[in-house]
Chain A
Amino acid sequence: MIERSHLGNVLAHLILIIGVVIICFPVYVAVIGSTHDATTIANGNMPLVPGGHFLENYYRILFEGTKSTTREPVATMLLNSLIMAMMIAVGKIAISLLSAYAIVYFRFRFRMVAFWVIFITLMLPVEVRIYPTYKVIADLHMLDTYTGLTLPLIASATATLLFRQFFMTVPDELVEASKIDGAGPVKFFFDTLLPLSRTTMAALFVILFIYGWNQYLWPILITTRDDMQTIVIGIKKMLAVVDALTEWQLVMATAVLAMLPPVVVVVAMQNLFIKGLTETEK
Chain B
Amino acid sequence: MASITLRNVDKVYAGGVQAVRNVSLDVADGELVVLVGPSGCGKSTLLRMIAGLESITGGEIRIGERRVNELEPAERDIAMVFQNYALYPHMTVFDNLAYGLRNRGVPRAEIDRRVDEAARLLEIEPFLARKPRALSGGQRQRVAMGRAIVREPQAFLFDEPLSNLDAKLRNQMRIEIRQLQRRLGTTSVYVTHDQLEAMTLADLLVVMNKGEVEQVGPPLDVYERPASVFVAGFIGAPAMNLIEAKAVNGRLTAGSGALDLPAPAGVDTVRVGVRPEHLHFGSADGAGLTLGLTVDAIEPVGAETYLHGHLDGSPRTTLIVRVAGKSLIPPGTRIDTHAAAGDVHLFDIATGKRLPD
Min distance, Cβ A122 to any Cβ of chain B, angstroms: 30
Min distance, Cβ A193 to any Cβ of chain B, angstroms: 10
Question: A281 and B89: CB pair below 8 A?
Answer: yes
Give Cα distance in the complex from A174 to B72, angstroms: 16
Min distance, Cβ B353 to any Cβ of chain A, angstroms: 37
Min distance, Cβ A214 to any Cβ of chain B, angstroms: 33
Question: A176 and B89: CB pair below 8 A?
Answer: no
Question: A176 and B103: CB pair below 8 A?
Answer: no
Question: A180 and B88: CB pair below 8 A?
Answer: no
Question: A182 and B104: CB pair below 8 A?
Answer: yes
> Which chain A residue lies CB-closest to B83?
A173
Number of residues of chain A lying within 8 A (CB) of chain B: 18
Question: A176 and B133: CB pair below 8 A?
Answer: no
> Which chain B residue lies CB-closest to A194?
B90
Say whether, besides A181-B74, A182-B104, A173 and B86 are in contact (CB < 8 Å): yes
Residues of chain A contacted by B104 (CB below 8 angstroms): 182
Question: A281 and B74: CB pair below 8 A?
Answer: no
Min distance, Cβ B175 to any Cβ of chain A, angstroms: 25
Decide if B80 is an interface residue (CB 8 Å cutoff).
yes
Say whether, besides A171-B84, A173-B82, A173-B84, A179 and B53 are in contact (CB < 8 Å): yes
Interface SS majority for chain A: helix
Among A180, A187, A195, A282, the one with the most B-chain Cβ atoms within 10 Å of its Cβ is: A180
Give Cα distance in the complex from A38 to B228, angstroms: 99
Question: A182 and B89: CB pair below 8 A?
Answer: no
A125-181 interface (Cβ within 8 A of B) = 171, 173-174, 176-177, 179-181
Question: B88 and A174: CB pair below 8 A?
Answer: yes
Residues of chain A contacted by B88 (CB below 8 angstroms): 174, 177, 191-192
Partner of A192, one of B80, B90, B147: B90
Give Cα distance in the complex from A192 to B104, angstroms: 17
Say whether, besides A171-B84, A180-B78, A282 and B89 are in contact (CB < 8 Å): yes
Min distance, Cβ B233 to any Cβ of chain A, angstroms: 32
Min distance, Cβ A30 to any Cβ of chain B, angstroms: 42
Partner of B73, one of A180, A192, A196, A198: A180
Residues of chain B contacted by A281 (CB below 8 angstroms): 89-90, 133
Decide if B247 is an interface residue (CB 8 Å cutoff).
no
> Which chain A residue lies CB-closest to B48?
A176
Residues of chain A contacted by B83 (CB below 8 angstroms): 173
Interface string of B16-56 (1 = CB under 8 A from A): 00000000000000000000000000000000000111000
Residues of chain B contacted by A181 (CB below 8 angstroms): 74, 99-100, 103, 147
Give Cα distance in the complex from A144 to B242, angstroms: 86
Question: A180 and B90: CB pair below 8 A?
Answer: no
Min distance, Cβ B326 to any Cβ of chain A, angstroms: 46
Question: A180 and B51: CB pair below 8 A?
Answer: yes
Decide if A183 is an interface residue (CB 8 Å cutoff).
yes
Give Cα distance in the complex from A94 to B52, angstroms: 31
Say whether, besides A176-B82, A180-B51, A195 and B90 are in contact (CB < 8 Å): yes
Min distance, Cβ B236 to any Cβ of chain A, angstroms: 32
Give Cα distance in the complex from A63 to B83, angstroms: 63
B51-89 interface (Cβ within 8 A of A) = 51-53, 72-74, 78-80, 82-84, 86-89
Chain B residues with a Cβ under 8 A of chain A: 51-53, 72-74, 78-80, 82-84, 86-90, 99-100, 103-104, 133, 147
Can you give 29 contacting A-B residue pairs, CB < 8 Å? Answer: A171-B84, A171-B86, A173-B83, A173-B86, A176-B53, A176-B73, A176-B82, A177-B80, A177-B82, A177-B88, A179-B52, A179-B53, A179-B73, A180-B74, A180-B79, A180-B80, A180-B100, A181-B74, A181-B103, A182-B100, A182-B103, A187-B103, A191-B88, A192-B90, A195-B90, A196-B89, A196-B90, A198-B90, A281-B90
Apart from A173-B86, A191-B88, what are 18 other A-B pairs with CB-CB below 8 Å?
A: A171-B86, A173-B83, A176-B51, A176-B73, A176-B80, A177-B147, A179-B74, A180-B52, A180-B53, A180-B73, A180-B74, A181-B103, A181-B147, A182-B104, A192-B88, A195-B90, A281-B89, A281-B133
Question: Closest 7 interchain pairs by CB?
Answer: A173-B86, A181-B100, A182-B74, A182-B103, A195-B90, A177-B86, A179-B73
